[in-house]
Amino acid sequence: MMKKCILFLLVFILGTISLIAQNKFDYSFQNPSLSIPARVNDLVSKLTLEEKVNQMLNSTPAIPRLGIPAYDWWNECLHGVARTKYHTTSYPQAIGMAATFDVDAMKKMGGFTSDEGRAIHNESLRKKDYSRYTGLTYWTPNINIFRDPRWGRGQETYGEDPFLTSMIGTAFVEGLQGDNPKYLKAAACAKHYAIHSGPESTRHIFDVNVSNHDLWNTYLPAFRQLVVNAKVAGVMCAYNAYAGQPCCGNDKLMVDILRNKWNFKGYVTSDCGAIDDFYETHKMFPDAESSATDAVLHGTDVECGNRTYKTLINAVKDGKITEKQIDVSLKRLFTIRLRLGMFDPASMVKYAQIPISNLESQPHKDLALKMAKESIVLLRNVPMPGQKNNLLPLNKNIRRIAVLGPNADNANTQLGNYNGQPSVVTTVLEGIKSKLKNADIFYSKSTDFVSTEPQDFSKLIDSIKDADVIIYVGGISPRLEGEEMKVSKPGFSGGDRTSIDLPAVQTEFLKALKATGKPIVFVMMTGSALAIPWEEENIPAIVNAWYGGEAAGSAVADVLFGDYSPSGRLPVTFYKSDSDLPPFDDYSMQNRTYRYFKGVPLYPFGFGLSYTNFKYSNLELSKTKIKKNESINAEVTVTNGGKMKADEVVQLYLTHLENGKDIPLYSLKGFKRISLAPGASEKVNFKITPAMMELVNADGKSVLNSGKIKISISGSLPSERSEELGAAKPVEALIKIQ
């Protein structure tokens, strides 16, 4: 038997070698039996200087003499494949996906997204379409820390916490890139490296100076996680400067940390036009030639743009850079393309078989709905005066409903930014109509998002006098907040927000609705934290639905009418007012985010209510006194004490009980999403490692100090404010590091 197996294996190997030998490769780089480094070296050796430089632009021309097709590096898939001519599945905006605290769903979403991306790429190759947004190099995810709610692009991030960002980002990258040992399904790209989170109006000139502590404790952990552990294929360097050098030409960020300390072997692309900024806005260099040289020598391999890197031809001739130094970038770029299987027969690459029919497949649409539901955060739910039960969930037997507001029937808002275009987008109005087919539903847009004119709501109020319940769907819009936008309205400027308040016209309208005495549900759509102190005091039910993607309307309807218990948790702090915020352009983390904010938030990080109630009990530690090299196990019992099946997000926080200016008040170090039937309990375990207990000192070094650490486990940030709002009481214990 053994001899037969060996003989069969030998015949198979010889047959494979024979098949490869029969293929007539014009060049060695086309031979898939060779190693990727050998193929890359062969390919690059055959390029002229002009060809090399043109391959370093995001839109690369074909090289017909070598059989190399054109390729555009620029593609997007922030929450589903974006900007393509095909219909694709649209998941909740990134900030909404972070609110799910669901790494399993996030990894699956990344996999489904690259399935659709491969399908589009395969179809495009068949049609010889090499245009932008057909490639496999996606400039996603955005893992900048959402340090200030006024930043318009914060909606693209996974929130304010480095650990949550790291875990959600890792899941997405692993799903998108796939698990094939030879081929990438798609190539993810961590952006914007680094210390980049507004203002949009000054991003091309801003020079950030932060302490080493903040750099390593807040701004770099997610990038390190994706580069070192998730093996992300690409990194995008940011527009701004850091410590006197543009990020794309920064000694510390690009060379010392990214390439040397983290040993990053992938490719780096500039943000679009960022190399132009070297000499045009940062004024660091006299001309394009010296700027391009500096960026390449710092390891920026692709210029998103089409002019500055073209001067590299003259830079070589002028002796500013050598062709061999340019080859370093070329080898990184073609390594990525070979890892994507772009020069191999389609029959050898299983991902090359994915058909166009994969787009918007039922499992993808089902996941979009699941994640939309999981992202919804119930912020407030109290009874109407004289009633015993909380207002939500609403009774499906309600006959007359008024659905009002600028986001009630607004598919555009739901899709966020950096989005694709699904075949079908279900708005909240449509979701409610589908849920309650026999109800009398009155709809009106009612208000604009923002208005400076006095409003007379009396006629509208009169038209809803018979309504049993009012559902107002407001908030803001990705047409008001986003990337470097030409928007100037009260509270909004250039893509950012000048105030975190809910626009005044909406609060005034809600006041008019409250005066009717009718039950009101405020469904809020937003990509960032809104200050709604009046609403928190006066509106009985408030639901935050973010920009929920194609299925947001169905998800909201499921939550409002009790077919799903809300389980989203806030990935950002909701502050009470603008006065809680430091200056927008101050990048110090002092008094920012839940880890350092010393005030009382409107809604804390990690907060979210449910239609049931959860109880935490029996926190057991494997040890209470440990040495610096020891891990401990923490186990807690979580019980669903209500009458409805529901999900809970169990959150682990550590607090170092020692004095120090830069010690966080709390640090999220673990979370697990569980589902419990009514009356059921589950034991949830966390392993707390020495690395989780480290602090970052003033020099930016991670150290593990002796002393006491408080362990808190709960369904929200463990604070008095969380409990006041209805969150479960945390269980806590102390450990001592000897």
Are 617 and 731 in contact by the 8 Å Cβ rule? The answer is yes
Query: Given its phi and psi angles, is residue 445 left (phi above 0), alpha (psi -120 to 50 degrees) or beta?
Result: alpha
Strand partners, 443: 403
Instruction: Extract the runs of DSSP E, i.e. beta strands, from 519-573.
Output: 520-525, 541-544
Q: State how far the Cα of 161 lies from the Cα of 242, in Å rounded to an integer.
A: 21
Residue 723 appears among annotated catalytic residues: no
520 three-class SS: strand
Catalytic residue among 289, 481, 496, 501: 481
Catalytic residue among 76, 115, 161, 271: 271
Q: How far is CA 603 from CA 357, 504, 548, in A?
A: 43, 20, 20
Sequential DSSP letters for 276-311? HHHHHTS--SSSHHHHHHHHHHTT--BBSSSSSGGG
**Start-end of H helices in 127-264:** 162-177, 212-214, 221-224
Other beta carbons within 10 angstroms of residue 685's beta carbon come to: 13
- Which long-range contacts (C-beta less than 8 Å, at least 24 apart) are formed by 9-18? none
Are 541 and 380 in contact by the 8 Å Cβ rule? The answer is yes
Q: State how far the Cα of 710 lies from the Cα of 271, in Å rounded to an integer.
A: 41
φ, ψ of residue 399 to 5 degrees: the values are: -100, -35
The single-letter DSSP state of residue 224 is: H
The one-letter code for the residue type at 551 is A
Q: State how far the Cα of 55 lies from the Cα of 53, in Å rounded to an integer.
A: 5
Residue 481 appears among annotated catalytic residues: yes
φ, ψ of residue 357 to 5 degrees: the values are: -65, -10
- Does a cis peptide bond (omega within 30 degrees of 0) precede residue 393? yes
φ, ψ of residue 157 to 5 degrees: the values are: -100, 180
Question: Which residues 6+ apart lie within 8 Å of 388 measured at CB?
Answer: none
Crossing angle between the packed helical segments 362-375 and 552-560, to the nearest 10 degrees: 50
For 609-657, what is the HEC assignment?
Answer: ECCCCEEEEEEEECCCEECCCCCEEEEEEEEECCCCCEEEEEEEEEEEC
- Does a cis peptide bond (omega within 30 degrees of 0) precede residue 727? no
List active site positions: 271, 481
